[in-house]
Amino acid sequence: MKIPTTLKHKPVIVSENYGQVDGRYAPDSDAKGLSLGLAQWNDRGKVDISAKVWRHTGGKWSRQSEELPLHRVLDLAILVTSSMVHFRESYRHEDLYDPENPVLDRIGLQGDAMTVAVCTDNERIKEDIRLFSQALSDDGELIGERLRTLSGLLKEMGY
């Protein structure tokens, strides 16, 4: 499906067949495309790049399409991988985490650190963390394929 170019986000690099590879939602995904382009919030003289997930209802482009600055896309990838590291060993804890120490990691970024922690404010955390862990396990093949691809590309770039 062709991504619109007349809206505020200006696509530069696109994947217009994303609905065919959108994990377990493929091929019936409402996420029809991904793009990297000029952000919709750009002001005159200031240019930011953003990533956008283009969602389509079947009749029109959805207001639920999401646009994120690139660093936030990468921060989400860091959050996912840090979580996966935790869940590899989480079976060691009765509640899949240590309630006395819910901080899983502190990842240095920009002179500070991004804290990765179990959300202990969630009143149903014991149930939800088990559901999360199971879903992460169930999607292991899908996520693993993407992580291997990302790893290969990062190595190709010298990282």
Looking at the predicted structure, is the pLDDT value of residue 45 above 80? no
pLDDT band per the 50, 70, 90 thresholds, residue 43? confident
Q: Any idea what DSSP says for residue 27?
A: T
Strands (DSSP E) contained in the chain are 10-15, 31-38, 49-55, 66-69, 103-109, 112-117
pLDDT (0 to 100) of residue 15: 93
> Nearest 5°: phi and psi at 98?
-90, 105
> Nearest 5°: phi and psi at 55?
-105, 140
Please, what is the average pLDDT of the chain?
94
pLDDT (0 to 100) of residue 78: 96
pLDDT (0 to 100) of residue 46: 81
Residue 31's DSSP bridge partners are: 55
In this predicted model, what pLDDT tens digit does every residue of 50-62 receive, in sequence order? 999 999 999 999 9
Looking at the predicted structure, is the pLDDT value of residue 107 above 80? yes
Q: Are 62 and 75 in contact (CB under 8 A)?
A: no
